Amino acid sequence: MPSVLVIDDDPDMLKYTQVLLETEQYEVSTASTGIEALQFVRQGNRPDVVLLDVMMPGLDGLETLERLREVLPEIKVIMLSCLTDTHKVVQAMRLGALDYLAKPLDEIELAETLRRCIENGTAEEQRELVEELGGGAFFLSASQSMRSIREQIGSIAGVNVPVLILGESGTGKEVIALMIHKLSSRSHRKFLKVNCAAIPEDLLESELFGYEAGAFTGANTSKPGKFELCDHGTILLDEIGEMPTRLQAKLLQVLQEQKYFRLGSRSPVSVDVRILAATNVNVDQAIKEGKLRLDLYYRLNAFSVTLPPLRERKEEIAPLLRHHMARLAQAYKRSPQPLSERLLRACMQHSWPGNVRELHNFAKRYLVLGNEDQMIAELRANNSAADQMVLMARASGNSNDLKKMVRNIKGEAEAEAIARALEQTNWNRKAAAELLNISYKALVYKSRQYGILPPRFPAAGETGREADQTPGGRRARAASGFTS
């Protein structure tokens, strides 16, 4: 029979929790103070799980947690909190708590959380899954595939050779590059990322290689490129498959000779830069179509790391959600939302086409909206749309039709998400952009692209229904999925 120690200064709460757990066939011990709980553990008692209240007089929950873990480093602790301020809960997670529950306790959620914590590894083992890389980046290895990649990174980080990082968009290729840099001898030097797909060809060349004064109209002074700025450091060329082939030839020169010419210069610049490259394109197809030079590919592919999509490492969904929720809760100064078994099941059934980036945005929306039913409904709706697309693609058997369908479905989903975010923020475009994790300019551009305009307020003597029939009102309602 699993054993649980409940620590709470409220006698009514203590008794209520004890009855709940004994009904579920747990062996229950109780303590009304942190000191009493510490004495219980020091006497040799080893509960399978501890339920610990955050707010207690004297020795509070955080201090009790720290001291419990000094006595039993592997102890599993679930925090209980009715606070709206999330600071203590997030701090508890960092100190080694496995999970958190909001008061008043929900019977089903309590049972599910206890079961999950008992089945999972110790707090110390779970903490070791996450490696912080700084600047908000972290590497999580809860699956065998990611543990293998972690070993691979450890082997190649110290070898000063190019690395090609492959994987779908949103799988975490930049995190892999940052980890390679952090584990290398260049970790004290600069790490720079350049998105080759986001910069026009003429600007990309000057960004990477710099230019001399007079090289082109407007070049009044000379400017070093990213390679010079990153000398003795590491540079990540993201979306290398989108780099124009003319620039690929110049990049090949840097890889082979560690030299290149600034725009408008006749003197070579020597640099010592480790080049990492990432792409989400099909490499074989890109080479066949002439979009990626074969000689550059061979040069970059001295070592390669292939990141599996999230749908192929589903055991990472729950720990990723918990980690993102804890971080976002601290950033937004909100209480973290509970991750019930029902929600986690829906997440496990979702295909996550946007991978870890989509999961991060899902956690952010759930934190802000706080409506579990709505989030589950959104996951199911997205799954239905994906299934429909697959069926249509199979029926047509035409890859061009498939690409067109993907674009259409993506556009519809994008327009709906933007309209919904604008409605939730009362058409505050800055707040909506933050909610969607895109720039303000991107939101304005896409709103115009999809014709999403704020509904016009009714004029004097005009009903809301009439206002909705204006072009702006109709477009806003149509884009957000509402119909009259």
**Are both 334 and 389 inside the same structural domain?**
yes
Global pTM value: 0.62
Per DSSP bridges, beta strands 163-166 and 191-195 are unpaired
Which residues are CB-neighbours of 200 under 8 A, at least 6 positions away? none
**Are both 320 and 375 inside the same structural domain?**
yes
pLDDT of residue 110: 85
Alpha-carbon dihedral 127, 131, 133, 138, rounded to 10 degrees: -80
Q: How many domains does the chain have?
A: 3
Look at residues 275, 306, 337 and tell me which one is the last residue of a structural domain.
306
pLDDT of residue 295: 92
Here the tokens at position 405 are 């369908």
Question: How many Cα atoms sit within 13 Å of 314 on the Cβ side?
Answer: 12
pLDDT of residue 474: 40
**Are both 31 and 84 inside the same structural domain?**
yes
**Are both 179 and 300 inside the same structural domain?**
yes
The residues of the chain scoring below 70 in pLDDT are 83-87, 120-128, 384-411, 455-484
**Are both 475 and 349 inside the same structural domain?**
yes
Look at residues 306, 322, 349 and tell me which one is the last residue of a structural domain.
306
Question: Is 162 in contact with 255 (CB distance < 8 Å)?
Answer: yes
Alpha helices in 188-263 (DSSP H): 201-209, 226-229, 245-257
pLDDT of residue 32: 94
Q: What is d(CA 264, CA 284) in angstroms, rounded to the nearest whole number?
A: 35
Q: Which domain holds residue 62?
A: 3-123
**Are both 278 and 332 inside the same structural domain?**
no
**Are both 294 and 150 inside the same structural domain?**
yes
**Are both 321 and 433 inside the same structural domain?**
yes
Q: Give the other-Cβ count within 10 Å of 414's Cβ.
A: 16
pLDDT of residue 313: 92
Q: What is the CATH classification number for the domain harbouring 346?
A: 1.10.8.60
